Structure 1
Amino acid sequence: MTPLSPTPRSTLTRKKDRGRTDRAELYAVLDEGLVCHLGLVLDGSPVVLPTGYGRDGETLYLHGSTGSPSMRAAATEIDICVTVTLLDAVVYSRSVNDHSMNYRSAVVHGRARALSGDEKWHGLRVLTDHLAPGSWEHAREVSAKEFAAVSVLALDLAEASVKVRDAGALDHPDDVEADAAWAGVLPIRMSFGEPDTDPKCSVPVPAHVVERVGPSTKLPR
């Protein structure tokens, strides 16, 4: 696996010790996140918007409406930036100034390419499998009208950076010695709740949905 190769845009300028060069860590952040933020300059102003995405190998697929100004602009192969952040904990320190967060973040720079035909179908499936695995086979197929109304962009992962903080409180020695306030880590965990079936739906909750919640969840009768 080729390691991350920093470019001027993807080189960390602060807390360089938190940087990661293992491409597997980039994949891990992207695969665990569910929403990315797409940043670009639109009509002369910076815009950052939450966007659906999915990854297949070295390609990140972005999803949106064909009517979205940001997706239309990104499709013209201008420079864009895509970020994904996973928040793992709030770090309490003895000094408010030293409070922090444990996190894993990925930043991808590049120019996206608008997809069509079979490439677009593949991108849609990757996006679906990322957000709701199993739905591509279970749900109704996408119609021609729906397919035409959706925009799918492909962004290469060649220019990317990963930054991670996974430590406890980093207090000044004087504050540690004084020991006048609590210091520690408060973990943050994302989990799925039990499925809530649509009132007009008579189809039992499928296994691919229950599997995301956990083995302890029981299928409704």
Structure 2
Amino acid sequence: MTAERVRVRRAPERGRYARSDIHEVLDAAMVVHIAFVEDGQPYCIPFLHARVRNALYIHGSTGSRTLRLLGDGAPACATITILDGLVLARSVFEHSANYRSVTLLGRFTRVPAGERGAALEAFTDRLVPGRWSEVRAPSPKELAKTSVLAMAIDEASVKMRTGPPSDGDSPDATDDVWAGILPMTIRLGTPEPAPELPHGLPLPQSVRNLCAATSDHHGGER
């Protein structure tokens, strides 16, 4: 995997380049920011995303100027950041954060019309496993209005920080000031039904499974 342009230079010991590390961060996040330049003006747009094998997928309306530009092969930078915790030190200077961040460089290509349905199925079940089989599939007209783009995950790196404050062996460590980590996570709240749903309609299995998985991940709390 080529990584020279995305090699971590500041705190290089935090850099990771293995494909498995990159995939892990992509799979743990749901939002990617895509940066590109049009007519000399930089733009950065957030998208829901999914990883399918070794490609990053995004989708949207065929009428989207951004998707048209990216689909035409404009150079792009995709970034994802997961904030895992606030790191509180004894001094302001040493405060930090634990995080995992991916930088991916490349160009998007359009997923062919004949593969668009399968791509959307993979995208849907990546975000909410099992949801595709519970709802109506896209009609040919809807598929024609949807653009799906893919970027090969070839030139990418991960930068991450883990662990406690770095001032544990400094003179500040003798101060009576609390220091440590405030872990941060994202979890699902209580499902809110659409107002027009029939009363008593049960939650679909996909939602129950996702809520249960999130609850288990956070020690059973809801």
Same fold per TM (> 0.5)? Answer: yes
Between stretches 118-127 and 56-65, larger displacement belongs to 118-127
1:121 pairs with 2:113 = no
- State the shift of 1:143 in Å: 1.5
Q: Which secondary structure does the structure 2 equivalent of 1:97 belong to?
A: helix
| Other-structure match for 2:20 | 24
Aligned 8 A contact 2:48 2:58 in 1: yes
Which residue is 1:205 aligned to?
A: 203
Provide the C-alpha distance between the structure 1 equivalents of 2:122 and 2:39, rounded to a whole number of angstroms. 30
Q: Which amino acid aligns with 2:206?
A: H
- Which region of structure 1 is more displaced relative to structure 2, 143-152 or 47-56? 143-152
Q: Residue 152 of structure 1: CA displacement?
A: 0.7
2:162 to 161, 166, 173: 166
Task: List aligned pairs for 1:126-205, cutoff 5 A.
Answer: 126-171=122-167, 173-177=170-174, 179-202=175-198, 203-205=201-203
The 3-state SS of whatever aligns with 2:6 is coil
Does structure 1 retain, via aligned residues, the 8 Å contact 2:102–2:156?
A: yes
Q: Matched residues in 1 for 2:39 and 2:144: separation?
A: 25
Amino acid at match of 1:131: L
Match of 1:6 in 2: 3
8 Å contact from structure 1 (residues 39, 81) kept in 2: yes
Matching residue of 1:39: 35
Residue 134 of structure 1: SS of its match in structure 2? coil
Number of the residue aligned with 2:219: none
Cα shift at 1:83: 1.1
TM-score, normalised relative to structure 2: 0.89
Structure 1 residues 43 and 5: alpha-carbon distance in aligned structure 2, compared to 1, 3 A threshold:
closer
Amino acid at match of 1:169: P
8 Å CA contact 1:36–1:53 kept in 2: the answer is yes
> What does residue 214 of structure 1 align with?
212
TM-aligned CA deviation for residue 180 of structure 1: 4.1
Gaps of 5+ in 2: 217-222
Number of residue pairs matched by the alignment? 212
Q: Deviations over 1:164-218 (max 9, x none)?
A: 10121012712123x142211000011112222112123421111111111779x
| Moved segments of 4+, more than 2 Å | none
TM-score normalised over the length of structure 1: 0.90
| Cα displacement (A) at 1:122 | 2.2
Amino acid at match of 1:31: D
In structure 2, C-alpha distance between the alignment counterparts of 1:96 and 1:154, rounded to whole Å: 42
- SS at the partner of 1:37? strand
Do 2:26 and 2:80's aligned partners in 1 also have CA atoms closer than 8 Å?
Answer: yes
1:72 paired residue number: 68
| RMSD across aligned positions (CA) | 1.7
State how far apart, in whole Å, the 1-side matches of 2:40 and 2:141 are. Answer: 32
Unaligned stretches of 5+ in structure 1? none
Aligned-pair distance for 1:102? Answer: 0.3
CA distance in 2, matches of 1:168, 1:12: 21
Pairs within 5 Å for 1:86-125? 86-125=82-121
